[in-house]
Structure 1
Amino acid sequence: MLRGYPGVSWVSVSTPPQNQGRPDDVTPVRTRPPLGVAVASFASSFDRFAVSPLLVFVALDLGVSLAQAVAVAGVYYLAYGFSQPIWGTLADRFGRVRLLRWALLGSAVAGLLSAFAPTLILLVAARAVTGVFFGGIIPTALTYIGDTVAASHRQSALSDLMAGIAVGTALATATAGLVGDLLSWRVMFALPPVIAVLCLLALRRLPEPARESGGGFVATLNTALRNRWVWTVVTLAFFEGAAVLGMLTFLAPALQAQGLDATAAGLTVAGYGVSTMLCSRLVRPLGQRLPITALMLIGGGAMTLGFALVAVHISVGTVIASALLLGAAWALLHTSLQAWATSVAPAARGTVVALFAAGLFAGSSVSTLAAGPLVAADAWTTLFAGAALLALLVTLGAVIVRRVYDRQER
């Protein structure tokens, strides 16, 4: 075992050309992500999901309208999502650990500037830069796992990472409004940068993994875009994002439309993060007994059932059940798709994972915008019935095309 890095063993391998000059001709083989990488992903998720609940407090404190304050979230989400392909290609060119360190450093600086921004314009600008840097952490972490964890352990390692991300989601959703009310929205914006600094210190001795060379920027991008299976997993990510992340946004508003206050509604939906964390513990034992298509089917079935419940009736009980089922779907279906994304084009792994993440967030954005008229009309049954149908189609599509892929790879 390598001292200071639990869960790492070293095996001898031939050194790829781009890694000549390394002190050893070995590469780390992990079974789980390093703590610093997992916590960095937690911080990225926490920062992203803390934005929306704070908009009312931002508007009141800075003396602007809520419509103007929405720009704080809008530019952040755009920067977070659309910067990811850039981070992916940079990670393939310069290395995973190096990019993680730069992303953490940039997140810390820009995040602290956000916390002390005196005007809305400066806050929007700082949040845009923060979104760019925090947006690079999770895809680079996923790529690092793809480089350092054998395929037989990769999905369980990804589920460990997803557990940390889910905790960030749950804590941000449950506490952002409360902290904003009792303390200040600035406190919530300052917490992730502090965590980023601690992660930066934890990663200072993390070795750079060996990786296959895909050539320069253009060559690496061409390698990814000319692979039809890359397009397949990115397309599946788009529709999964549309179903899970897009429609998850409306569970709390659906309860609020029934008269529940915002804090209680947010705490109810926070069950999603708790469920993801708990169900991620099942990925390792299930993955040893079941094929990946079975995990996709179980996770997709949970997603379909979760939306079907709230399509039939909206109450605290059905929303809690839906959030729990969606957490199970994220732990099983999403990590299956992620593990697939890390394997389809190893020479362009960083680029592929970043495209996968960009597709996921693009899908969530499109479905959120498309659902707007239904939300305005209080057509919750139609909205969630459509989400259930989309979830079913995503599940069947993922299982069918994965079986085709497995047959061709044999």
Structure 2
Amino acid sequence: MDVKKNLIALLGLAGFIVMADNWVVSPILPAISQNLNIDIAKAGLLISAYMIPFGIFQVIFGPLADRYGKKQIITFSMIAFTVVTGLCAFGSALTSLAVFRALTGIFAASVMPISLALIGDVFPLQERQGAIGSFMGISFLGQGLSMVIGGTIAFFLNWRGVFAAYSVFSLIPTILLLANYKSLPSEKHPDSKILAPYKKLLATSKSLLTYILVLLEGIFIVGSFSYIGSFIAQTYHYNFFYIGLIMTGFGIMTVIGGRLSGKLSAKVGARTVLTLGLLCASLADMIIYYLGANLILLILGIAMLGLGFIFTHSTLLTRATEFAQKARGAAMSLVAFCFMGGGGVGTAIGSRLIATYGLLQLFIIYGAALVATLFLSYILIRGRVVGINEV
């Protein structure tokens, strides 16, 4: 196996499955509620049962990968993820299904940070942003397609068939990881501690400021994305299949933007790409606010949000890979934790904003916040990262 040529495809496929699974419960929640004879509010606990351990274990798997080996941890996690995803299809009550979803969230948490750390190990800095952008693009295409995939399977089978199908899908990257296990790179640092790298990363100004930007990116970009489906349903009254189809514009542009980000960064600089990303995401929110009633312009806005996201996130992730070599897993876990945590905070704040001002106003508020984040990035991001690699 040519590691540099195939690693992105292999990790991207694992990321695709995990990110698709991340959102799969939303479109099938009514079916689960009806089948298990519970109200929709109780069924909604299944989303929390997944998201809470998914967020917490982001910061645990990174140090474990640094200590015991990245390929060892990610391979074990994908095997376990495949098994417990399949078990979800046999959940006979809310409790058992919630336990299986919690286990799914735990093992899914390993994939993104460890994949990014592996990319940081394999790709030199000048190639890294393009590699990260491609990986993130493939992964978030899974998120963009999750509603279409889940809704289609549930339509032809049932909600249990969705989990069974995802378990089968996840066999593909799992088998590929096992088949290429020997050729995958793996550095071990047995002296690595769980909390020590985090203390050093958060105590160093350049890394701390980058994590703040990742948190803000998660709040405002993921927070916006979380309610696009609701906006489409409210404005156009489409079913989940059509909603998911429209939202694939986000995923498609993350793939395209991921391929472009590295080349663009080499030509105009990472700071310019970060600026373009935040500006693009802000304009996307404003297009949805002012012109979202026009379907073509709505799709354009969703696509621009995907492009803005991948330009912004790939730049910040590339920067984060420079923070530590011996504790790169921890550095990337902290990025993933800030991003996913920010997304959760942004979604929660968005819920309150919608209750107070209405769904449409959320996009103009978050669009303005992204402009403020852009100006903040000029203050916080200055030059290359130095003096952190001893972490």
Match of 1:392 in 2: 371
Deviation, structure 1 residue 401: 2.4
Deviation, structure 1 residue 268: 1.8
* Residues 298 and 113 of structure 1: CA distance in aligned 2, closer, same or farther (over 3 Å): same
Name the SS for the 1:346 alignment partner.
coil
Deviation, structure 1 residue 31: 6.3
Name the SS for the 1:217 alignment partner.
coil
2:62 maps to which of 88, 97, 107: 88
Deviation, structure 1 residue 213: 7.5
* Residues 352 and 284 of structure 1: CA distance in aligned 2, closer, same or farther (over 3 Å): closer
RMSD over aligned CA atoms reads 2.1
Match of 2:270 in 1: 292
Deviation, structure 1 residue 378: 6.0
Moved more, 157-166 or 400-409: 400-409
1:274-289 alignment runs, 5 A limit: 274-289=252-267
Does residue 301 in structure 1 map to residue 279 in structure 2?
yes
For the residues of structure 2 that align with 1:405 and 1:151, how far apart are their CA atoms?
A: 11
For the residues of structure 2 that align with 1:222 and 1:388, how far apart are their CA atoms?
A: 33
For the residues of structure 2 that align with 1:385 and 1:350, how far apart are their CA atoms?
A: 36
Match of 2:203 in 1: 226
Does residue 271 in structure 1 map to residue 245 in structure 2?
no
Name the SS for the 2:339 alignment partner.
helix
For the 8 Å contact 1:233–1:337, the answer to whether it is kept is: yes
For the 8 Å contact 1:180–1:188, the answer to whether it is kept is: yes
Does residue 98 in structure 1 map to residue 72 in structure 2?
yes
Match of 1:129 in 2: 103
**Identity score, percent:** 23
TM-score (structure 1 length as normaliser): 0.87
Of Structure 1 and Structure 2, the greater helix share is in: 2
For the residues of structure 2 that align with 1:262 and 1:95, how far apart are their CA atoms?
A: 44
For the residues of structure 2 that align with 1:318 and 1:252, how far apart are their CA atoms?
A: 15
Alignment size in residue pairs: 383
1:160 maps to which of 128, 134, 147: 134
Name the SS for the 1:371 alignment partner.
helix
TM-score (structure 2 length as normaliser): 0.91
Moved more, 150-159 or 169-178: 169-178
* Residues 407 and 132 of structure 1: CA distance in aligned 2, closer, same or farther (over 3 Å): closer
For the residues of structure 2 that align with 1:34 and 1:309, how far apart are their CA atoms?
A: 33
For the residues of structure 2 that align with 1:245 and 1:366, how far apart are their CA atoms?
A: 9
Name the SS for the 2:327 alignment partner.
helix
1:196-275 alignment runs, 5 A limit: 196-204=170-178, 205=181, 206-210=183-187, 215-263=192-240, 264-275=242-253
For the 8 Å contact 2:145–2:245, the answer to whether it is kept is: no
For the residues of structure 2 that align with 1:196 and 1:261, how far apart are their CA atoms?
A: 29
For the residues of structure 2 that align with 1:214 and 1:333, how far apart are their CA atoms?
A: 33
Q: Kindly provide the CA deviation profile for residues 271-312 of structure 1, in whole angstroms up to 9, marking residues without a partner as x.
A: 111111122221233133120011111111110100111222
Name the SS for the 2:319 alignment partner.
helix
Deviation, structure 1 residue 102: 1.4
Q: Kindly provide the CA deviation profile for residues 328-369 of structure 1, in whole angstroms up to 9, marking residues without a partner as x.
A: 012211100111111122232111111111111111111211
Query: Unpaired segments of 5 or more residues in structure 1?
Result: 9-29
Deviation, structure 1 residue 155: 0.5
1:352 maps to which of 322, 331, 334: 331
For the residues of structure 1 that align with 2:205 and 2:188, how far apart are their CA atoms?
A: 22
For the residues of structure 1 that align with 2:387 and 2:61, how far apart are their CA atoms?
A: 30
Does residue 321 in structure 1 map to residue 300 in structure 2?
yes
Match of 2:359 in 1: 380
1:119-198 alignment runs, 5 A limit: 119-198=93-172
Match of 1:14 in 2: none
Match of 2:347 in 1: 368
For the 8 Å contact 1:40–1:195, the answer to whether it is kept is: no
* Residues 66 and 119 of structure 1: CA distance in aligned 2, closer, same or farther (over 3 Å): same
* Residues 230 and 212 of structure 1: CA distance in aligned 2, closer, same or farther (over 3 Å): farther
For the residues of structure 2 that align with 1:182 and 1:236, how far apart are their CA atoms?
A: 42
